[in-house]
Structure 1
Amino acid sequence: MKRFSSLFLVALLSGATTLGAYKLLFDENAVFSDTSKSMVTTASGNYTRTVGLSPETLDFTDAADKAVHSVVHIKNLSYVTRSNPMMEFFYGYKGGQPQAQVGTGSGVIISADGYIVTNNHVINNASEIEVTLNNKKTYKAELIGTDSKMDIALLKIHTNDKLPYSTFGDSDAIRVGEWVLAVGNPYNLTSTVTAGIVSAKARNLGSQANDMQSFIQTDAAVNPGNSGGALVNTRGELIGINTMISSMTGSYVGYSFAVPSNITKKIIDDILEFGNVQRGILGVEGGELNDKASKELGISATQGFFVNKVTPKSGAAIAGIKKGDIITKLDNTAIYSYADIAAFLNTKRPEDVVRVTYIRDEKTLVTPVTLTKNEFLAYDYNGLQLENLDSSEKKRFNLNYGVKIKETTNPSFEELAGKIILTIDNQKVKDIEMVSAILSRKQENSLTKIELLNPNGQIERYIFR
């Protein structure tokens, strides 16, 4: 009996010790229960938060219904002459029968009286443009104006009917992760609606750091034929014009791009008011900062746009912006890259005043900058002072591209003053920005072929080294 009592007492003490150790180590009020020293942050126990994916909260039907009636199908009829290589080789014959080509795309009605916005590449080189509405009515369209840089074109159809049209939303207000719908006519499948989210903003797909492109990137499915169609938010407001996809196959692979509605609206307003697009230029070149670039430059800031060059006589130069400054804001818009600058400036005009926030010598400064007209800027090459053509010169020579040699400081090239550069190394040049891009890629002492138009309308060709 004594032995049994001893064993019972030992068991009782062991149980008490175990229970006491558990309470000491694991009880939430015990000294060792403090979780503040843990390297892991645990989530709350609430696993019932809705993320808006249920049929009750995710409903695109109203937005789709608004959009499909304002999106049109566009046919572009053009004529090309096919050459016969055998005839050319044996007889030097370069003629041929013109053959009709038909391209298709989409467009968006933006007014009840028939103005339609689409992509420039949808109607480029068109001899005839045909527009079919969602109600199957077909009209001939008139080309009002284009902006090849941002790939936007404005059309007009004439009808006595009041047409359904899209209202413009604020593309600056959209957020990454927001739901959007793409509406268009892929592969001639009319009134097609796809859904996705905004994947990125201010996306630049150009090969040059100072390219003016600034797209909305989405994962809504867009395919050939969608070009020129509508990108709308969940309220059915137009926030972009679907423009392109990035794909090895030419079909949708996960993301697509749209010209923001704020930029589109400004282009349309310029075409209607001035006949062409009025672009305000800040006058800076440079690049996006990151940790590696900041270390190479020997600066502490890792975000912003580093100014590597300021264009003489530009608004930035007049306001005192210098090489080495870091631009962080334009008005209230944060700046991280040139695409951010382009997105902001594409909605502005010459003579608009912008508040530029920048860092210099570790100090944050703010200065007003008056944007300069692109035509006022010049570019120097081998003593040739180049400037963009103004609208009167383009009209006089029936040109939509070219750069004028304003004057020369090199005596060897005095006779070139007043002539217009049409091509450099067989590439048509549209403005001094393109000239700068072409020439900056050339190696020192390499040959440069230039085609000129003289004041008498005659073509001249030169080779420079």
Structure 2
Amino acid sequence: MKILAILIALCAAPLAAQQVPQSAAQMQLSFVPVVKQAAPAVVNIYARIMTQPRGTPLQSDPFFERFLRDPFATRKPRVQNSLGSGVILSADGIVVSNYHVVGMATDIRVVLNDRREYAARVLLGDEESDLAILQIDTPDALPFLDLRASDSVEVGELALAIGNPFGVGQTVSSGIVSGLARSGGSGGSGQGYFVQTDAPINPGNSGGALVDTQGRLIGVNTSILTRSGGSNGIGFAIPADLVAAFVAQARNGSDRFKRPWAGISGQSLDADMAETMGLDRPGGIIIAGLHPASPFLDAGLAVGDVIVGVGGVAVNTPAEMIYRMSVVGAGAKADVSFLRRGGEERAQVSLLAAPDIPSREETVLDRDTVLPGLTLVRVNPAVLDEMNLSLEVSGVAVTQPGRFGRRAGLRYGDVILEINGETVTRPGQAQDILRGDMRRVSMVVQRGARRIGLRFRV
């Protein structure tokens, strides 16, 4: 039977040269048809990033600043060149790439496989997901790839990675889909849910395509797990379903990705927890905390419930849950399955962006205060989400410490709880306290999971 299959495949060789392989026997002959179909839509991206050189720590000191001002004033911004890949997703020039390739770029050039070159601009970028949507400025119809539904992808499928590793030119590597629902294993800046592949991915492949044997986009290559800097056979791609959500928001005019806010804290349910709760197997996310404005709380969920599904798909980690919410999209409703007292229940949860209520009241402390230039905002759900703060935190958060705040030990993301023994709830209140006549200042600051005390002389 094996010999017969080979003979049939050989007879079909002329046909296979003109169409995508439809069987394993055809695939043994060549990947050429798939590459011919997919490669024209994978582009090289050259980005220019302007960076301001850093001075010395003494330059931030008010005493030394007057002595060091002139030498450092002559420093010019430096130009950094970023190299990566991208994938054209529509004939009108919508391109997806990684945020770390183009997110901060001032000049972006996109070069097609046929050497045509175009200028491009960022429509939407998101550092957390490490995705950026670009628009090529051209009236020409461009080749593009279709997106494949992520839930149809299975472990063991053949896959091709197409990109521009090390700037050598467009390169194709083959492998399989090694795993799904990978979270927290990325070596790049992306966070969340990934497709894992052993198709070799190297620097420069970032933003390139991971395609199936039909030439459809499975995901956008974003990072590798490596100790040497080269490919060790563990690469990660952002699923096509999340890419589709980004494209939809970019076409609607958003310049920032509106990610649905859960307003919950929790962790994956392990075997010990499952046994304690009388469950027959571990799985799902146990809710440890709920913000008063959480849409899950509004839908009836409570601390101790175990979320096991979102949108009809099982979830086992917080990253999976956020991914499923993002795919459903902000403004929609998701069917959420959860366990309570051993029984499964369902609820409709409205997926909304974190509310910017009450007003954040951004305040830059003036020169009449002891910490001029310190920028504070009132903590609300939007601030919690943007700064990745604990749900229980309240007070005022530091968005820019300024020179004097930095000297005092403040950092971005610190939450000031008390100043000189007085509880602080609003930026204006902090400004009034720090405007007083004082020689010493003491603060209680929440930094991550720790509370620390800061004391300094004025």
Other structure's SS at 1:130 match: strand
- CA-CA distance at 1:180 after TM superposition: 1.1
Other structure's SS at 1:149 match: coil
Match of 1:237 in 2: 216
Query: Residue 197 of structure 1 is aligned with which of 167, 176, 194?
Result: 176
Q: How many residues align?
A: 372
Match of 1:74 in 2: 45
Are 1:105 and 1:225, in contact at CA under 8 Å, matched by a contact in 2? Answer: yes
Gaps (5+ residues) in structure 2? 6-22, 361-377, 385-398, 401-411, 432-444
- CA-CA distance at 1:241 after TM superposition: 0.8
- CA-CA distance at 1:264 after TM superposition: 0.7
* 1:221 partnered with 2:200: yes
Task: Determine the C-alpha separation between the residues in 2 that align with 1:171 and 1:418.
Answer: 49
Query: Residue 447 of structure 1 is aligned with which of 446, 453, 456?
Result: 453
- Larger Cα Rg: Structure 1 or Structure 2? 1
- CA-CA distance at 1:361 after TM superposition: 1.0
Are 2:147 and 2:216, in contact at CA under 8 Å, matched by a contact in 1? Answer: yes
1:397-416 pair list within 5 angstroms: 412-413=423-424, 416=427
304-313 or 133-142, which deviates more: 304-313
Task: Determine the C-alpha separation between the residues in 1 that align with 2:93 and 2:42.
Answer: 12
Other structure's SS at 1:374 match: coil
Other structure's SS at 1:165 match: coil
- CA-CA distance at 1:60 after TM superposition: 2.7
Amino acid paired to 1:183: I
Q: CA separation of 1:165/1:375 partners in 2, compared to 1, >3 Å: closer, same or farther? A: same
Other structure's SS at 1:309 match: strand
Match of 1:271 in 2: 250
Are 1:286 and 1:306, in contact at CA under 8 Å, matched by a contact in 2? Answer: yes
Other structure's SS at 2:215 match: coil
Other structure's SS at 1:126 match: coil
Task: Determine the C-alpha separation between the residues in 2 that align with 1:79 and 1:278.
Answer: 27
What do residues 357-383 of structure 1 show as CA deviations (whole Å, max 9, x unaligned)?
Answer: 111111121222222322357899xxx
- CA-CA distance at 1:417 after TM superposition: 5.1
Amino acid paired to 2:235: S
Amino acid paired to 1:246: L
Match of 1:454 in 2: none
Q: CA separation of 1:195/1:439 partners in 2, compared to 1, >3 Å: closer, same or farther? A: farther
Amino acid paired to 1:348: V
* 1:250 partnered with 2:219: no
Task: Determine the C-alpha separation between the residues in 2 that align with 1:115 and 1:76.
Answer: 17
Query: Residue 85 of structure 2 is aligned with which of 89, 102, 106?
Result: 106
Are 2:103 and 2:122, in contact at CA under 8 Å, matched by a contact in 1? Answer: no
- CA-CA distance at 1:124 after TM superposition: 2.9
Task: Determine the C-alpha separation between the residues in 1 that align with 2:124 and 2:197.
Answer: 27
Are 1:287 and 1:337, in contact at CA under 8 Å, matched by a contact in 2? Answer: yes
What do residues 3-59 of structure 1 show as CA deviations (whole Å, max 9, x unaligned)?
Answer: xxxxxxxxxxxxxxxxxxxxxxxxxxxxxxxxxxxxxxxxxxx99999x76555564
Amino acid paired to 2:329: R
Query: Residue 127 of structure 1 is aligned with which of 72, 96, 106?
Result: 106
Query: Residue 65 of structure 1 is aligned with which of 30, 36, 43?
Result: 36
Match of 1:284 in 2: 264
What do residues 226-283 of structure 1 show as CA deviations (whole Å, max 9, x unaligned)?
Answer: 0011111110011211111111222211111111111011012112214132222333
* 1:144 partnered with 2:144: no
Q: CA separation of 1:360/1:104 partners in 2, compared to 1, >3 Å: closer, same or farther? A: same
Aligned-pair identity (%)? 28
Q: CA separation of 1:414/1:377 partners in 2, compared to 1, >3 Å: closer, same or farther? A: closer
Query: Residue 296 of structure 2 is aligned with which of 306, 313, 316?
Result: 316
Match of 1:35 in 2: none
1:273-352 pair list within 5 angstroms: 273-275=252-254, 276-295=256-275, 300-352=280-332
- CA-CA distance at 1:79 after TM superposition: 3.0
- CA-CA distance at 1:162 after TM superposition: 1.6
Are 1:240 and 1:261, in contact at CA under 8 Å, matched by a contact in 2? Answer: yes
Q: CA separation of 1:182/1:414 partners in 2, compared to 1, >3 Å: closer, same or farther? A: closer
What do residues 108-163 of structure 1 show as CA deviations (whole Å, max 9, x unaligned)?
Answer: 11121222111111013222111111111112212222111111111122223221
TM-score by length of 2: 0.71
Q: CA separation of 1:313/1:62 partners in 2, compared to 1, >3 Å: closer, same or farther? A: same
- CA-CA distance at 1:215 after TM superposition: 1.0
Task: Determine the C-alpha separation between the residues in 2 that align with 1:55 and 1:295.
Answer: 49
What do residues 375-427 of structure 1 show as CA deviations (whole Å, max 9, x unaligned)?
Answer: 357899xxx6423269xxxxxxxx99x9999x99x97425515999xxxxxxx
